[in-house]
Structure 1
Amino acid sequence: MSEFMLDPDVVFLNHGSFGACPRPVFDAYQQWQRKLEQQPVRFLQRELPEQLAESRRLVSEYLGAQSGEVVFVPNPTFAANTIARSLPLGPGDEVLISDQEYGACRFAFQAAAQQKGFRVVEQAIPLPVESEEAIVEAFWQGVTKNTKLIFISHITSTTALTLPVAQICQRARDEGILTMIDGAHAPGQIDVNLTTIGADFYTATCHKWMCAPKGSGIFYTRGDRQDLVQPLIVGWGWGKEKTFHRENEFIEHHEWLGTHDPAAYLTVPAAIEWHRHSFMKDVRERSCDLARLAVDEAAQLDGVKRVHPNAFFQQMGLVDITAKEVDPVAFKAHLYDAYKIEVPVIRWKDRTFIRISTHAYTTNEHIEKFVLALQEAF
């Protein structure tokens, strides 16, 4: 798709890492930056609160959240640190995560555990998965009477697996356990309704599958849980001498972090609008078909195996190349240097995966080049 600015000489199969911003959205991003620079004081002090409120309203509507439950953050790592450091966790308490969580967010809880004395318990979800019920039951083996928080991905980064988070959140609520969902890969790739999911906390990027500019993310906290969350950065929105008094306290505490460029946040509505006008349902279906085609074709090669049934992944497909005994870093570099294919090669639990991401710009020819490259390399 010509709307993207990606290098046409590169087969870009790694949308999942940082996304890619289409031209109309990037143009809106630059317009906001120019507006900021034309009169920084007027923009930041007098215009920004209302502009942010509108952007926040639209992204809340897009994600099925209630007014006042969503704030903008740079990324999910920021939100994970906020929760890890806010909740009153201490010795004897446990935070349950899966063995497939994103490293930076896992580190946030492990670092806080060292400081506060609680335990981070990592529960395996065996691969391949068989059913949503089996996933929930496998994960639930890690729950104990000391479990105070569950932190788990909506779609895992390492293994590209879609997890039944609504079922997990409901079961946790029934047992009085708080839940935080890492939805970095969900909005834009699948439909997300935060009210229906029922998590206490949810964080996601807008710059991945929503195709907004880099550095735009959301942090959702249910209204009845907001008193539990302290701001990671204390700024002008916190004290009695507040600079702004136009939002509720949760938003004031967590979104006014000091001087920064808010253009990425303000561009999120343009990304939502681009999705709506780009027949995103058709794009998703086509992209999902291409990801599954890549897995199906690659799995025909000797020593290459599929990992998930089709029902458990969307626009990120996964193949297992453990049998080839390649060095992941070297093989990733080889695919790029020899074939101009940008795709992650991941080492996880003594297994080696290739994660293929597809989006509006992906073509059948890209998939053919990827499979041919594997065939020649192996």
Structure 2
Amino acid sequence: MTAWLLDPGVLHLNHGSFGATPAAVLEAQQGIRERIELNPTRFFLEGEYQERLDQARRAVAHFVGADEAGLVFVTNATAGVNAVFRSLEPSLEPGDEILVTDHEYNACTNAAIVSASRAGAVVTTAAVPFPLEHEREVVDAVVAAVTERTRILLIDAVTSATGLVLPVAELVARLEPDVRVLVDAAHAPGMIDFDVSRLGASYVTANCHKWMCSAKGAAFLWVRPDRRDDVYPAVISHGYNGGWPSEGGHLHAQFDWTGTHDPSAWLTVPDALTTVEAMHPDGWPGVRNVIRERCLQGRERLVEALSIESPAPGDMIGAIASVPLPPADNSGSAIFDPLMGALRDRHGIEVPVFTWPAPPERVLRISAHLYNQQGDYDRLAEALVAELGT
């Protein structure tokens, strides 16, 4: 793990929650910070910030198949979701519906609830089964929940708690343009082959600090050309009335400067892309193949240890995968199960155990990245057997 700063005394099987940043990327980030502090006025006001930001944007746009004019940086995918919902509030009418699934990330569902309440709209939920046998179960569940009042669908590219790669492109083809689709792709870039423009969705937001392995606080929002003029950041700043920055189109003017902050995570995303690419002789395709295979192998080891069937087909798995656990009384925690603490404190394993979809049901989710090996999942399986008595 010399390329990473992860504690060697802990088995890290939770890349999916916060990512892990290679040491070389953190060094590049510190170099940017030092460059800023040499003369902050010059850096931000005399063009260097914008030039470096445009370079980073270009690299990300190329990586995810997006056009630069439609791509802006945000701090995380949740911020991207909030920006879209806040921008849509004026167009929503009482009784309109925002559709989510019961696999959606809690923070983003909350953003939908708040925006809906401001407009007198409602949030409806499509119940997607898990375990499941085929991705068409996802399509059928979502399409069945669409009504004549559905205005926007918020859908994960890869679900958080359940670790499923969803058939987003098929849903977009079925629903757009009558129903706008906002893709919460927090986990997708770097984990799966992901092309923003080919999806056809109205909006796509994703993290760079998860599977792209950038420093924390880097994400992007992409907006389809016909939707761009009506999208604004949650924080309104100088660009709203044509102030600085005033070039680069509507989205860039609104999002590129929303006040003073540390932009180093954004500016070093290209360093993350090249650093991880160099970790495999086949570059990023090789990285994606390796981490997916490790994840699938890890899931099979857990399925065997728990004496259960695989809860989802292999073609719906990227580099995170969840398995159901025996039900337990989780009344002391609304999200995380006490088993998570036991695995960390007694076995030195960092892996999330979620209460899902509601107590007493729960799932354990593994992640795989290049610093993980097959033996990691053997160790987890043995710890689970010890804790659960299976």
TM-score range, shorter chain: over 0.9
Corresponding residue to 1:184 among 177, 186, 194? 186
| 1:310 is the counterpart of 2:314 | yes
Contact 2:217 2:265 in 1 (8 A): yes
Contact 1:90 1:118 in 2 (8 A): yes
| 1:166 is the counterpart of 2:169 | yes
1:12/1:130 Cα in 2 relative to 1: closer, same or farther (>3 Å)? same
Aligned to 2:21: 21
Aligned to 1:77: 78
Alpha-carbon shift at residue 348 of structure 1 (Å):
1.0
Aligned to 1:33: 33
Aligned to 2:354: 346
Contact 1:303 1:324 in 2 (8 A): no
Aligned to 1:371: 381
Name the stretch that deviates more: 125-134 or 19-28: 125-134
Alpha-carbon shift at residue 325 of structure 1 (Å):
5.7
Aligned to 1:118: 121
Partners in 2 of 1:152 and 1:323 — Cα distance?
27
Alpha-carbon shift at residue 305 of structure 1 (Å):
5.2
Letter of the structure 2 residue corresponding to residue 377 of structure 1 = E
Letter of the structure 2 residue corresponding to residue 26 of structure 1 = L
| 1:357 is the counterpart of 2:367 | yes
Partners in 1 of 2:54 and 2:304 — Cα distance?
51
Aligned to 2:57: 56
Alpha-carbon shift at residue 366 of structure 1 (Å):
1.3
Aligned to 2:305: 301
Alpha-carbon shift at residue 326 of structure 1 (Å):
6.7
1:119-153 Cα distance to aligned partner (Å, 9 max, x none): 11110111223323332112111101111111100
Name the stretch that deviates more: 294-303 or 77-86: 294-303
1:329/1:137 Cα in 2 relative to 1: closer, same or farther (>3 Å)? closer
Secondary structure of 1:306 counterpart: coil
Alpha-carbon shift at residue 282 of structure 1 (Å):
2.8
1:302/1:51 Cα in 2 relative to 1: closer, same or farther (>3 Å)? closer
Contact 2:244 2:253 in 1 (8 A): no
Alpha-carbon shift at residue 283 of structure 1 (Å):
2.9
Alpha-carbon shift at residue 322 of structure 1 (Å):
2.5
Letter of the structure 2 residue corresponding to residue 119 of structure 1 = V
Contact 2:12 2:349 in 1 (8 A): yes
Contact 2:337 2:355 in 1 (8 A): no
Name the stretch that deviates more: 93-102 or 248-257: 248-257
1:242-261 Cα distance to aligned partner (Å, 9 max, x none): 12233212111122110001
Partners in 1 of 2:348 and 2:192 — Cα distance?
29
Alpha-carbon shift at residue 24 of structure 1 (Å):
1.4
Aligned to 1:127: 130
1:349-376 Cα distance to aligned partner (Å, 9 max, x none): 2321000001010012211211111121
Corresponding residue to 1:205 among 207, 228, 231? 207
Letter of the structure 2 residue corresponding to residue 365 of structure 1 = G
Aligned to 1:286: 290
Aligned to 1:153: 156
Partners in 1 of 2:209 and 2:254 — Cα distance?
23
Corresponding residue to 2:338 among 330, 335, 343? 330
Partners in 2 of 1:375 and 1:309 — Cα distance?
24
Aligned to 2:278: 277
Contact 1:183 1:205 in 2 (8 A): yes
Aligned to 2:45: 45
Alpha-carbon shift at residue 85 of structure 1 (Å):
1.4
Alpha-carbon shift at residue 304 of structure 1 (Å):
5.2
Query: Unaligned 5+ residue runs, structure 1?
Result: none
Partners in 2 of 1:229 and 1:282 — Cα distance?
36
Contact 1:2 1:361 in 2 (8 A): no
Aligned to 1:65: 66
Letter of the structure 2 residue corresponding to residue 263 of structure 1 = S
Partners in 1 of 2:352 and 2:143 — Cα distance?
30
How many correspondences in the alignment?
376
1:267-316 Cα distance to aligned partner (Å, 9 max, x none): 11111112322223333222222222222122223465532122111111
| Aligned-pair Cα RMSD in Å | 1.6
Give matches, 1:224-235, under 5 Å. 224-235=226-237
Normalization by structure 1: what TM-score? 0.96
State the percentage of identical aligned residues.
35
Aligned to 1:214: 216
Contact 1:304 1:323 in 2 (8 A): no
Partners in 1 of 2:147 and 2:230 — Cα distance?
22
Aligned to 2:247: 246
Partners in 2 of 1:313 and 1:92 — Cα distance?
36
1:19/1:302 Cα in 2 relative to 1: closer, same or farther (>3 Å)? closer
Contact 2:320 2:368 in 1 (8 A): yes
1:30/1:115 Cα in 2 relative to 1: closer, same or farther (>3 Å)? same
Secondary structure of 2:293 counterpart: helix
Partners in 2 of 1:148 and 1:276 — Cα distance?
39
Alpha-carbon shift at residue 6 of structure 1 (Å):
0.1
Corresponding residue to 1:103 among 77, 87, 106? 106
Aligned to 1:9: 9
Partners in 1 of 2:324 and 2:217 — Cα distance?
31
Partners in 2 of 1:302 and 1:236 — Cα distance?
56
Secondary structure of 1:68 counterpart: helix
